[in-house]
Amino acid sequence: MLGYDASSPRQAEATAVTVLKIVIMGGFGVGKTTMVGSVSEIGPLTTEAPLTYASAGTDDLAGVEGKTTTTVGLDYGKVTFTSGGAKFELYLFGTPGQERYWFSWDDLVLGAAGAVVLADTRKLADAFPALDYFERRQVPFVVGVNSFADSPYTYTAEDVRQAMTLPDAVPVVPFDARDANSSAHVLITLIATALDAARSRPAPRGAPL
């Protein structure tokens, strides 16, 4: 079992280190920057810029009326997990959510072992572009359903799965992006999903058995 301790991320010495690049993607205002900031063991790098009148009518603030900034480049953080004699170092890359920044996705996803697609039950359709992106590229991903204290809607993981027509193989994990342990749970689920996907791939021709 993978372990995570927010108070001491480097509590165990590992004999081996597996470095994984993880992408966190989703719609505008869904909590990508918040998730990276809550779980990162280093001071996260963010590229937040103030929202201005120029984005009025383009950036939908429904449900996130108090939002005053937006990511214009990327969010970056790092977190370490340990499991027995193995150590996992995750490098987290949060992407911008608005369509005008989608051109940057290919560069940010390059070399990623897996992805977290964040979803807000108040506007599930905002997650569809990210879902389509990873499905087409066959990148392992999980769906993290971020909870918002002011949301009047409560749905189960199965409700979300059906609404988004997700296959059973894609984990759906309700969580709170503001909480480090809750965010870590999503990442642990993704690691397991990515490792299972890697094991199930056919071995290259000529590879040793």
Residue 160, domain CATH: 3.40.50.300
Between 43-57, 59-73, 96-110, 183-197, the lowest mean confidence (pLDDT) is in 59-73
Read off the pTM.
0.76
191 inside domain: yes
Residues sharing a CB contact under 8 Å with residue 90, sequence separation 6 or more, in sequence order: 20, 21, 22, 78, 79, 80, 81, 187, 191
188 inside domain: yes
9 inside domain: no
The residue whose two tokens read 């949301």 is: 151
Element (H, E) at 91: strand 86-94
Mean of per-residue pLDDT scores for the chain: 79
Work out how many domains the chain is built from and give that number. 1
Domain that includes residue 164, residue range: 16-199
204 inside domain: no
Q: Is 187 within 8 Å of 93 (Cβ atoms)?
A: no
